[in-house]
Amino acid sequence: MIKHIVMWNLFDAADAPRFKAQLDTCNALVPGMVEFEVAIRTVGLEANCDVVLYSVFENSAALAAYQNHPHHQHVSGALGTLREIRSVLDYEI
């Protein structure tokens, strides 16, 4: 299993709901995607990013299929203009 966690800081935090809505369209995009959750910062709770993606894939081939999927590529490109910083951590469990 591969966990794929990505965090974004946006130029304008007010764009977080729209960013999340677009990312949510990538849920269940490929076979082997086990979990997929997108969240935005909650007022009053600690956060140093605006949006986070927590996802789990059966193996590295499923993660690669997701990353290379045309819809994911389109969403990633469209959201790229909204983000200031992107941090990612992939790890095997």
Query: What is residue 33's predicted lDDT score, i.e. its pLDDT?
Result: 98
- Amino acid 44: pLDDT: 95
The bridge status of strand 33-40 relative to strand 51-57 is antiparallel
Mean pLDDT of 77-84: 97
The pTM of this model reads 0.95
Order across the sheet with 33-40: list the strands: 33-40, 51-57, 2-10, 83-92
CATH number at residue 13: 3.30.70.100
| In a domain? residue 27 | yes
> Residue 85 domain-assigned?
yes
Per the structure, the complete domain to which residue 46 belongs is given by 2-53+67-92
For residue 62, being part of any structural domain is answered with: no
- Name the domain count of the chain: 1
Residues 68, 15: contact at Cβ < 8 Å?
no
Q: Does some domain include residue 61?
A: no
Q: What is the arithmetic mean of pLDDT over 29-55? A: 97
86 part of a folded domain: yes
